[in-house]
Amino acid sequence: MAGKKHTSLDRVMGRLDSLDPVNLANLVQRLARERALFEQIFNTLQEGVLVISTDGVIEYANEAAHRLIGMPDDALPGQVLWRLVPGLRPSLDDAGPKAAAHVAAREFEVTYPEPRTLRLYMVPFRGAERSSDRRHAAILADVTRDRQTTERRIEDERTSSILLLAAGVAHELGNPLNSLTIHLQVMARKLKKLAPGPDAKSLAESVDVCRQEVARLDGIITHFLEAIRPRPPDLAETNLADVLAEVLRFQKGEFADRGVKVEAETPADLPTVMADRAQLKQVFFNITKNALEAMGSGGRLKIKSRADDESVFLLFGDSGSGIRQEDLVKLFQPYHTTKAQGHGLGLMVVQRIMRAHGGEIGVESREGLGTVVTLQFPRKDRRVRMLGGG
């Protein structure tokens, strides 16, 4: 065939009938060494490599393919690929004249040994025009982290847009509130000039109530804007136990009024983290506030901590009513709330702050038994080792 390159091995194979036993044995040894070399090369790859016959049977699979699909060594050869990857058969079963040039790409999920998303890219071998000897090479790659990163980026952009919109609305509400404040002050001054009497006193009391409510609304908007305005954390060495103790002291009276007992096991020698102290207070306040509202009188909030070589964990467990399964999957969606007076932004703000700190938040709950919220912070010394290691 014109243009085809012939290797020395090809030339030897062309004279196979004329080889004597010694040269034939040398050829077999050489083939065995080259096969072992190629096996070693394929098994060092992180991507899975499969060779697929025309009927979808796996003829070869490297070690990574077995690991990605979750099957023991040497279990894949002989398996039919489209039984493992539903929806792939039409791509392989194309008997048309362009079948040899057909390329397929799929993403599919596996659940063993853990839930992951795999991407399969399949291309036919060159020169396999006849349907009877058509083979495909398939490459498998684990794209779980890439997909999660993409989904997180989309969710972060969506969250940021909603927060900016909410901040704009809150800012606009401030203008009429300021106007109300001014007019109420004018009314109060005019009432003082009126002759004293029951009517004047009643009106003065009503104006005073209105001024207090306007001040309360203004305070709510101010705290709301402080909580949701995206700003980078001002990181400094922080002891989580100290910040948590400060928040719990602030809420002590409210817990006592509700008859809720708080048990905090947070040793003072917890590894330090790099964090924004003010933002951490917001995180702890939102979580303990949620726990308080989920529990009736006589409830119990247990707070524990632990650390490993990479992270510091704080666990908040309440004895409340728990969260329904259908609500659990929507916890971090903006404006989703099960509370009559809730705004559905508390946990979303917590998630944003935790991510800005390089941490994570996890929620586990069983309806009727309670909820456990886990905060994971990267240790300060872990970050130093990572930076030092390049």
Count CA within 13 A, CB hemisphere, residue 373. Answer: 27
User: Quick one: CA dihedral 105, 111, 113, 117, positive or negative?
Assistant: positive
Task: Return the minimum-mean-pLDDT range out of 47-51, 153-157, 314-318.
Answer: 153-157
Q: List Cβ neighbours of 94 (8 Å cut-off, separation of 6 or more).
A: 102
- Of 123-137, 298-312, 315-329, 342-356, give the lowest mean pLDDT range: 123-137
Domain ranges for the chain: 45-142, 149-228, 236-388
pLDDT digits 0-9 by tens, 168-209? 777 677 778 888 888 888 888 888 887 777 877 888 888 888
Q: Which of 27-41, 289-303, 320-334 has the highest mean pLDDT?
A: 289-303
Higher pLDDT, 11 or 158: 158
CATH of 149-228, one of 3.40.50, 1.10.3470, 1.10.287, 1.10.10: 1.10.287
Per DSSP, the three-state class of 307 is: strand
Do the beta carbons of residue 311 and residue 377 sit within 8 Å? yes
DSSP 351-377: HHHHHHTT-EEEEEEETTTEEEEEEEE
Neighbours of 123 (CB within 10 A): 14
Q: In the predicted model, what is the mean pLDDT of the chain?
A: 77
What is the helix (H) or strand (E) element at residue 317, kind and residue range? strand 311-318
Greatest mean pLDDT among 39-43, 91-95, 377-381 lies in: 377-381
Would the pLDDT of 127 be above 80? no
Whether 44 shows a pLDDT value over 50: the answer reads yes
Instruction: Check if the beta carbon of residue 291 is closer than 8 Å to that of residue 320.
Output: yes
- What is the percentage of the chain residues whose pLDDT exceeds 90? 13
For 236, the token pair is 């400094």
Q: Taking residues 139-145, what's their average pLDDT?
A: 86
| pLDDT greater than 70 at residue 48 | yes
CA-based nearest residue to 349, from 173, 171, 165, 225 = 225
**Assigned superfamily of 45-142:** PAS domain (3.30.450.20)
CATH architecture of structural domain 236-388: 2-Layer Sandwich (3.30)
Average pLDDT value for residue range 110-119:
79
DSSP assignment of 262-301: EEEE--TTPPPEEE-HHHHHHHHHHHHHHHHHH--TT-EE
Beta bridge partners of 361: 375
Three-state SS at 22: helix
